[in-house]
């Protein structure tokens, strides 16, 4: 534990100067944010969406950075659930925190912590070898090979509806008994005879893969727990190493992730580390809270701070949002300028053409702009989201049904080509997308060369690549940015062959940063390009959905978690089917009809209703100005026609 650390008013002002606009402050009548920023004890922070909890955590980190290094040599750990969330933290405060982002501190995902500090050292100690890979895709591929080569003729396995899925899902519990999925029980395993031939064969498969160092993500937790059991002192070492541990988005931790953190850093209240868990139970939309009740995973601590006011949404949205909160939440809007716009219900019909709902939403926004209800130069994006984004057959409405271009747009931005020059000749006619394609091409070369990010054992993404270069090779970082600019400008002018030659020269230095030379990627680099013919060019640049010349962004609710929007259009979508016939329920308007009509969700509501409520809660809590929800006329007539029109503005598309 470092010597007494005090957070002063001056420290808070410093954090405000970096994170907030000149007219904003962490102070308010309750000073909930200041209390959290100053607090350096083991506590939980529960806060409503848009309350600034991530901003408050960043403030605390900025302040602690200035107190580093700690005299006792200990460091700070910041853990979140996804790489995106970690990248966000790095992007926001990275440039002010050179010490925080290096030894002895750790900022990463829960998975990378478990891999790096527990699974890998244990594996190395037992086998004297390094783990080959911790990656689900790679692991599943090896299981498939094993099945094809060794278990192909097994009668019991072949009788199963999804043999491969069953095999890929097998895990060891801590007693090396087989289970189906990490948090399941031995009793639920399909094969009951544990001394039978097939059971032994499956155990053997698991052991062989483990011994070869081929692990799925869950296996890292299995090894981690073995390590902690065999060497309980590891716990103390980690507590000494990290005097402050902050977990953001705590609600998204699954039970095995929660348990391992709790075991090490809470240690039944005896930990040397200060352990702070930050989140919003109502926003649990990842694994946490699905198999287990969230309250069973993230149990409340006696020492809990709260932030109840949101800087994001208006009173009108807060009123609606309350009903979708599974854990009763006191949600208030504390925005200084409060928009009077009511949430809107957009009713569409079968005869509306595909993009009419989104276009109606755009017309609404334009109208509100002219009426000064939405600022002309609005700050945050305008987005249309739905829970389910994959196209479904039949009459099941999902995101692509609202926008015929949705899938096409998405697939083009992710298109993979099989040669370097194909990336150049197929590039779009706009700077940003060309830049994107060029980066995708470099990432593809790294993948072909099997270069992985040692922080998380995954292939580099655009942001992790930039982060790595910025941290390890500033010269290459600056060079890449300049090159991307230069290449993109030249491609727009049609100088592809000049760019192609320059990229080939550049690659030696680029790959050198990762300690490798061109090898497996030579074929990709030199192969002749192939032009992909696009049948209808207009497909890729739909002009219909633009406001201020910017396209409305479409995506899943999951993809906008943590974001702030100016306006959000939530499009209902088909998810599973509960019940049958006339009363079957698949859409939010059906499962959550009572919540739309001012009734709070309760613990006795069924699992799918609760899951729908969580998704709606996250989606509905994004906008600063306008929330709209699109519902089909049939479902409106049956479920929502008696909605309170003082609360919701109802309009037909
Ligand atoms: N003290 C503050 N004063 C004014 N605005 C603030 C303050 N703190 C945060 N904000 C703004 O409020 C919005 C939400 O902040 P932030 O993303 O930190 O909230 P959050 O609680 O983490 O949200 P979510 O629960 O959706 O992840 C942002 O636009 C941020 O700039």
Residue 76 CA: distances (Å) to CA of 57, 162, 220, 275, 331 = 13, 44, 22, 10, 31
Backbone φ, ψ for residue 381 (5° rounding): -65, 165
Q: Is the CB of 51 within 6 Å of ligand 1?
A: yes
| pLDDT (0 to 100) of residue 396 | 92
**CATH of residue 402:** 3.40.50
Closest listed residue to residue 434, CA positions, set 387, 486, 480, 382 = 486
Q: What is the mean pLDDT of residues 117-125?
A: 95
> Residue 535 falls within a domain, yes or no?
no
Atom of ligand 1 nearest to the CA of 58: 18
Residues 484-543: tens digit of each pLDDT: 989 988 888 788 889 999 999 999 999 999 999 999 999 999 988 877 654 443 344 566
Would you say residue 60 lies in a domain? yes
Do residues 173 and 179 lie in contact, with contact meaning Cβ atoms separated by under 8 Å? yes
47 lines ligand 1 (CB under 6 A): yes
Q: Is residue 131 part of a domain?
A: no
121 is a domain residue: no
Q: What are the pLDDT digits (tens) for 313-348?
A: 899 999 999 999 987 667 888 876 667 899 999 999
623 lines ligand 1 (CB under 6 A): no
User: In terms of domains, do 391 and 422 share one?
Assistant: no
Flag whether 116 is in a domain: no
Structural element, H or E, at residue 413: helix 406-413
Rounded-to-integer distance, Cα 8 and Cα 20, Å: 18
Ligand 1 nearest-atom number relative to CA 26: 1
Residue 293 among known ligand-binding residues: no
How many residues in the chain? Answer: 653
Residues 299 and 320 in one domain: no
pLDDT in the model for residue 614: 92
Determine if residue 580 is labeled as part of a ligand binding site: no
Q: How much of the chain, in percent, has pLDDT values that exceed 90? A: 64
pLDDT in tens, 404-456: 777 644 444 456 788 899 888 887 667 777 888 899 999 999 999 999 888 77
**φ/ψ of residue 344, rounded to 5:** -110, 140
What number does the ligand 1 atom closest to the CA of 47 have?
Answer: 21
Q: Do residues 197 and 162 both lie within one domain?
A: yes
Q: How far is the CA of 20 from the centre of ligand 1 (A)?
A: 9
Structural domain contains residue 284: yes
Q: Are residues 380 and 320 in the same domain?
A: yes
439 occurs within a structural domain: yes
Q: Are residues 576 and 478 located together in one domain of the fold?
A: no
For the chain, give the mean pLDDT. Answer: 89
Q: What is the CATH number of the domain that holds 270?
A: 3.40.50.300
The answer to whether residues 420 and 519 belong to one domain is yes
Q: Which structural domain range is residue 328 located in?
A: 315-408+542-652
Q: Is the CB of 313 under 6 A from ligand 1?
A: no
**297, pLDDT greater than 90:** no
pLDDT at 544: 66
């Amino acid at each position: 534990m470092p010597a007494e650390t005090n957070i002063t008013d001056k420290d808070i002002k410093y954090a405000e100067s970096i994170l907030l606009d000149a007219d904003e402050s962490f102070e308010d009548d309750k000073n909930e944010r200041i209390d959290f920023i100053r607090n350096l004890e083991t506590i939980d922070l529960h806060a409503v969406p848009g309350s600034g909890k991530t901003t408050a955590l960043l403030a605390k980190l900025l302040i602690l950075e200035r107190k580093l290094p700690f005299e006792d040599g200990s460091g700070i750990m910041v853990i979140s659930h996804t790489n995106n969330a970690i990248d966000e933290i790095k992007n926001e405060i990275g440039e002010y925190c050179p010490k925080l982002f290096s030894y002895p501190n750790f900022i990463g995902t829960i998975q990378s912590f478990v891999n790096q500090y527990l699974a890998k050292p244990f594996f190395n100690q037992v086998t004297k070898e390094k783990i080959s890979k911790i990656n689900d895709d790679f692991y599943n591929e090896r299981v498939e090979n094993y099945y094809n080569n060794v278990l192909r003729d097994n009668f019991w396995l072949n009788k199963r509806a999804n043999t491969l899925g069953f095999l890929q899902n097998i895990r060891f519990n801590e007693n090396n008994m087989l289970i189906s999925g990490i948090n399941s029980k031995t009793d639920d395993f399909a094969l009951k005879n544990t001394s039978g031939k097939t059971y032994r064969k499956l155990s053997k498969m698991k052991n062989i893969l483990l011994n070869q160092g081929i692990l799925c993500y869950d296996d890292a937790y299995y090894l981690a727990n073995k390590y902690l059991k065999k060497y309980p002192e590891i716990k103390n070492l980690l507590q000494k190493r990290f005097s402050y541990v902050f977990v953001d988005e705590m609600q998204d931790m699954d039970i095995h992730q929660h348990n391992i953190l709790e075991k090490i850093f809470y240690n039944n209240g005896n930990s040397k580390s200060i352990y702070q868990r930050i989140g919003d139970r109502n926003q649990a939309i990842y694994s946490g809270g699905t198999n287990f009740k969230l309250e069973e995973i993230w149990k409340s601590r006696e020492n809990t701070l709260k932030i109840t006011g949101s800087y994001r949404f208006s009173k009108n949205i807060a009123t609606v949002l309350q009903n979708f909160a599974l854990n009763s939440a006191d949600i208030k809007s504390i925005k200084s300028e409060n928009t009077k716009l009511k949430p809107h219900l957009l009713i569409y019909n079968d005869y509306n053409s595909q993009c009419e709902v989104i276009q109606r939403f755009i017309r609404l926004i334009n109208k509100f702009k002219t009426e000064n209800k939405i600022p002309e130069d609005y700050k945050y994006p305008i987005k249309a989201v739905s829970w389910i984004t994959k196209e479904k057959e039949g009459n099941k409405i999902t995101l692509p049904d609202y926008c015929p271009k949705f899938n096409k747009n998405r697939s083009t931005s992710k298109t993979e080509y099989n040669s370097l020059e194909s990336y150049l000749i197929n590039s779009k006619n706009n700077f940003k997308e060309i830049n994107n394609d060029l980066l995708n091409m470099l990432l593809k070369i790294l993948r072909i060369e099997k270069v992985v990010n040692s922080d998380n054992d995954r292939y580099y993404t655009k942001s992790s690549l930039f982060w790595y270069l910025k941290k390890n090779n500033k010269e290459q970082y600056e060079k890449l940015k300049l090159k991307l600019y230069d290449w993109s400008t030249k491609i727009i002018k049609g100088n592809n062959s000049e760019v192609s030659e320059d990229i080939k020269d550049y690659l030696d230095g680029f790959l050198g940063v990762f300690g490798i030379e061109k090898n497996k990627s030579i074929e990709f680099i030199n192969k002749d390009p192939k032009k992909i013919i696009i049948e209808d060019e207009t497909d890729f640049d739909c002009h219909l959905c633009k406001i201020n010349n910017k396209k409305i962004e479409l995506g899943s609710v999951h993809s906008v978690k943590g974001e702030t929007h100016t306006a959000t259009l939530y499009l209902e979508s088909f998810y599973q089917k509960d019940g049958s016939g006339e009363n079957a329920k698949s859409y939010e308007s059906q499962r959550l009809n009572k919540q739309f009509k001012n009734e709070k969700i309760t613990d006795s509501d069924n699992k799918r209703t609760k899951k729908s409520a969580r998704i709606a809660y996250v989606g509905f809590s994004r906008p600063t100005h306008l929330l709209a929800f699109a519902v089909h006329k049939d479902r409106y007539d049956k479920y929502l026609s008696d909605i309170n029109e003082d609360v919701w503005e109802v309009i037909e598309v």
